Amino acid sequence: MRPVGRRKPIWYRRISVPYACYALSVLTLLNLLNYADRNVFVALVEPIKGEFSLSDKGMGLLNFAFMLSFSLSAYPIARLSDRGLRKNIVALGGILWSLATFLTGSVHTFFQLFLCRAVLGVGEAAYACTLSPMLSDYFPLRLRATVISIAASALGLGTALGFLVGGVIYHHIGWRYAFYAFGLPGIVLAILAYYLKEPVRGLPERTELGLHHPREDFAVPRPENLLAPAREILAIPTIRWVCLTGILLTFSLGGFFFWLPSFLERYHGFSTTDVATKLSMIAGCGLLGGMVCGGFLADALQRRGGVRTTFGPLSCGG
């Protein structure tokens, strides 16, 4: 008969290194499709605009639908993520945006296209606000920035893949099939994410502090209302500056990147396929290099000089 009380409590059971690497692989691949699904639409703005006889205002509204739904749903979903199983939220987000991507290839009206872009935003918001906290609990603190940078490298690879594959498929069989091609794999990876082991919240911090019975120490207090955590976080001056910087960066680069393919096609005579190929190389090399190298550099500098040293190279790059 198995002795009672000998097994370690659930919060103390560690996930093996090979399994953590497997989880990192699944979540990184899903993140790659996240950015590919988002940017294949950008690569194909002109063909879509032509088929639906839309103005630039109409195309801007479609991008607005994505950004608005992403922004409005991120905070409520993050609150759910603080309370529930993060792997379920990751999987649901992946299925939502993958279905929205797949159905984009079947739309016939502006309203249907608008709705697909809005659902895409909700799905990607669910993934974006859950990915980093979940990954952080799979690995020790000393590897955190490196692990996050590996997952974030999907920004460059996914953007490049969305442009390159989208342009090639459009050239051979039409823009609709590009959305079919990106939608299906995301559903498969989302199912794999659903069956991942949920990491214990705060385990790397508990290990670092040497806590042996830390559940109460890391319990998430229930706020008086939904906005209480946001007020607490925004009370930190550094966070306010980071948020303001992010807003300004997104405002400037978002519009530039969305309309860049159209600008090159209209005023410089490039074809959709040429633009997609060239931008895929630029995005892939620049974003991938910055994400991966930045993570390794951040881990190294954090051990030497803390957050101020870590942000030094970032300031130079800006």
Tokens of 74: 């991120």
Cβ-proximal residues to 123 (8 Å cutoff; 6+ apart), any chain:
92, 93, 94, 95, 96, 97, 98, 99, 100
Instruction: Write the Ramachandran bin of 53: left for phi over 0, alpha for psi from -120 to 50, otherwise beta.
Output: left
Could you report the per-residue pLDDT of 214-238, keeping only the tens digit for each? Answer: 454 444 555 556 677 778 888 888 8
Residue 8 is predicted with a pLDDT of 47
- pLDDT less than 70: residues of the chain: 1-14, 205-226, 284-318
Name which of 256, 258, 237, 301 is nearest 41 in CA terms. 258
Residue 303 is predicted with a pLDDT of 62
Could you report the per-residue pLDDT of 139-159, keeping only the tens digit for each? Answer: 888 888 889 888 988 888 898
Residue 313 is predicted with a pLDDT of 45
CATH numbers and ranges of domains, the chain: 15-199+237-317 (1.20.1250.20)
Going from the C-alpha of 155 to that of each of 1, 36, 118, 127, 287, the distances in angstroms are 52, 8, 20, 13, 7
Name which of 225, 28, 264 is nearest 146 in CA terms. 28
- Measured CA to CA, the distance from residue 271 to residue 167 in angstroms comes to 9
Going from the C-alpha of 193 to that of each of 90, 135, 224, 248, the distances in angstroms are 7, 12, 32, 33
Whether residue 114 contacts residue 62, with contact meaning beta carbons closer than 8 Å, is answered with yes
Name which of 2, 304, 295 is nearest 148 in CA terms. 295
Residue 317 is predicted with a pLDDT of 47
Residue 194 is predicted with a pLDDT of 95
Tokens of 110: 């502006």
Residue 122 is predicted with a pLDDT of 96
- Measured CA to CA, the distance from residue 271 to residue 170 in angstroms comes to 11
What is residue 198's DSSP assignment? P
- Measured CA to CA, the distance from residue 49 to residue 287 in angstroms comes to 27
Residue 285: count of CB within 10 angstroms of its CB? 12
The pTM score is: 0.80
Residue 242 is predicted with a pLDDT of 85
Tokens of 217: 């120490």
